[in-house]
Amino acid sequence: MRIQIAPSLLAADFTHLAREVARAEAAGADMLHCDVMDGVYVPNISFGFPVIRQIAKITSLPLDVHMMTSCPGRYIDVLAEIGASIVTVHSDAVEPDELGHTLSKIREAGMTPALALRPPCPAEEILPYADILGMVLVMTVEPGFGGQKFMADMMPKVREVRQILDRVNPTCAIEVDGGIGEATVAEAAEAGANVFVVGTASFRAPDMKEAVSSIREKAEIAFRHGRQIE
């Protein structure tokens, strides 16, 4: 399973967004992580669809759109139209009887459906949907704010998610988001994560290319070790 680095545009310099996207590409990013916050599901408001549309026009990198919003299902058509590649919805933002329908609609629209788990949400919440998911996002901070401290106590959840997926959907990726950098990526990778959202540690590093390369190397070594000791 390939290690992928997803710099988070929430940490970019928005006064020079095109330059920041180009910098992420040059640094070796595998995708760009776009946090959409509505001020309802989370207390902050970030950027929306007009910004994502413009980003899609200037990059060939996949756009990993993290919907920290209530009622994400109403936006699936517009997300497909503006160029989203992966759409992540939160397990507790949608009523259980609607969540499967929302994830299926994402897939039918040609995008990868992903399910996010906030810190209080257990790994078992993915069970009804595990077979249709392309990715599970385990939040390693509370969603809604950048620059938070990595929650190491989420690593048992990452392992549980990996065990579930190994049984029913072994090609499904596990993403972690929150406080990921050179000091924390190995712990998350050894637990079974292979996609890493990196905000401050990428865009605000002295050398973004060097930071992305170092984070990737640490993740690759730790991920292989984690799979060997299972």
Q: Which of 4, 2, 20, 22 is nearest to 12 (CA)?
A: 20
Residue whose pair of structure tokens reads 């517009």 in the numeric block? 78
Q: Which of 142, 115, 145 is nearest to 130 (CA)?
A: 115
Q: At what angle do helices 17-26 and 49-58 cross, to 10 degrees?
A: 50
Confidence at residue 1, expressed as pLDDT on a 0 to 100 scale = 87
Helix (H) or strand (E) holding 219: helix 208-228
CATH class held by domain 4-228: alpha beta
Catalytic positions are 35, 177
Which residues of the chain register pLDDT less than 50? none
Confidence at residue 148, expressed as pLDDT on a 0 to 100 scale = 75
Flag whether the pTM goes above 0.85.
yes
* Residue range 132-171, pLDDT digits in tens: 999 999 999 998 766 679 999 999 999 999 999 999 999 9
Confidence at residue 194, expressed as pLDDT on a 0 to 100 scale = 98
